[in-house]
Structure 1
């Protein structure tokens, strides 16, 4: 019996003036473990007059994880964080009851040609943390655990797996793992995984049960314990997974929560620009992303 539960094709989505490939959520699969949202950004070649600009926007009930392969993003938030995200580093912001942030091309790159490529990820919070105070943590690339076994290179970007633990301060049992191989390799790592798992092929290809997958797809396993595959030479893959929550997580625009009433209140607070709920971002307070019309309906 096949262990391929679902294959999700990337679909285009606009995040401001930048087009991404959306992998989660999907109509048949709203989450993989605690991962509720995955965007594949790029690879994009931006001209000297093209820049990424996602103005201030709010979040509740989630952690954002930004991981870049190429390029640079300036992150600013209502906690006062102001940091440049570079390839290999991990930006991890936990919104809790409410936070506002913006993502833009850094000032020094705005008039030059540049590339941008990476993942934008949302991770749901345990129910007891959905109303916690917001926090921010930045982990540099050289702090991420990396190791090699039998010619295969591993990097544990977040979570705990294979006797390694990432310093990224996640709040539930999960893993976000990079695997690279220069040679054709067969892997059977199911016994080390837990909860749910999905695979994304960034470069090269993998063979699973006689089927070849080579990118722009999220492959969801029926059973993480049966996770085995063959990597072609010069292949890079990412595994996302972990223990799912007992309660359903609802997503409305940038808000995630197990309680719809808290989402409704967040909609009202953002639409009314309630500064107690959603403070301004120091140094980026002249504009904001308004609540979309479709969500605005019924919000006063």
Structure 2
């Protein structure tokens, strides 16, 4: 997803949002409240990056998109824009998005499916409402995620994979329904072609359930509450909160009935990752070169697309 507002991170705005540090005895080190961010004509709920937590494992960016009801003539139209140094993961709860990219891909992603695009040294893509939905009422709701690439793969050739809902490992455990959307965990492996040690899980409960998952997790870990709620260590948490764990091995909580949460994380990289607009890299010079390349329109084109998203001006220049 394009981030039209410069680096996509307003430090003053972030400073006004609530981040709660728990006491030292708690396994919850940080609570991040979902906060509004603009992606052009739409507002989304931004979770990462956050001023006090730039990444969780290799996950460097997460937007909660919707739920939004679109009337006839209201459509998602994100024109062609570039990425480097990351993989994007689109996972929808409602609605549909037509993805087109400079590799020649044209595919519709629907609820429960995964679009996984690896930018590597550079890719361009657009995201739009499919033609058959553009003149009818519709809804749109989902998650859009950026996963940084390992340093040695940041300049790899771009690629794209579409994974059907039926291919995603799904099972029941401790009274809840689980899906391994990406990565490896619980002795299972998602078919999404990841490039680092990570996990991204959906957990749904219809009744109250106690879960102890630490033995199955590794690296850094965080939990996002989509709906319902959880309780942990005597505290209760609700929708639109992201809980970051001190120690993934101590991940234990109780889900309220009719709750949905997303658990994600993995091994962090030894090098810092920089984010500037839609570019991610461990090297600022690579980002600088990518910005100039986009300004000069030297990135590959998306077949059939003629729109162009200009590089945002620095905030000081606005």
Q: What TM-score does the superposition give when structure 1 sets the normalisation length?
A: 0.96
Q: What is the aligned partner in structure 2 of residue 183 from structure 1?
A: 207
SS at match of 2:314: helix
Where does structure 2 lack aligned partners over 5 or more consecutive residues?
Answer: 1-24
How far the C-alpha of 1:102 sits from its partner, in A, is 0.5
Asked whether the equivalents of residues 158 and 166 of structure 1 are also in contact (C-alpha less than 8 Å), the reply is yes
Which digits, 9 at most, give the CA deviation of each residue in 1:185-243, with x for residues without a partner?
A: 11111111100011011121100111111111111011111111000111111001000
How far the C-alpha of 1:295 sits from its partner, in A, is 7.0
Structure 2 Cα separation of the partners of residues 145 and 16 of structure 1 = 35
Which digits, 9 at most, give the CA deviation of each residue in 1:163-197, with x for residues without a partner?
A: 11000000000000011111111111111110001
| Partner of residue 312 from structure 2, selected from 270, 292, 295 | 292
Asked whether the equivalents of residues 65 and 122 of structure 1 are also in contact (C-alpha less than 8 Å), the reply is yes
SS at match of 1:200: strand
> Where does 1:22-37 land on structure 2 (aligned, <5 Å)?
22-37=46-61
> Where does 1:1-300 land on structure 2 (aligned, <5 Å)?
1-274=25-298, 278-284=299-305, 286-294=306-314
SS at match of 1:194: coil
**Moved beyond 3 Å, runs of 4+:** none
Structure 2 Cα separation of the partners of residues 220 and 134 of structure 1 = 31
Where does structure 1 lack aligned partners over 5 or more consecutive residues?
Answer: none
SS at match of 1:293: coil
Structure 2 Cα separation of the partners of residues 256 and 62 of structure 1 = 6
Report the count of equivalent residues: 293
SS at match of 1:263: helix
Asked whether the equivalents of residues 63 and 143 of structure 2 are also in contact (C-alpha less than 8 Å), the reply is yes
SS at match of 2:303: coil
CA RMSD of aligned residues (A): 1.1
Q: Which moved more, 1:122-131 or 1:149-158?
A: 149-158
Asked whether the equivalents of residues 69 and 117 of structure 1 are also in contact (C-alpha less than 8 Å), the reply is yes
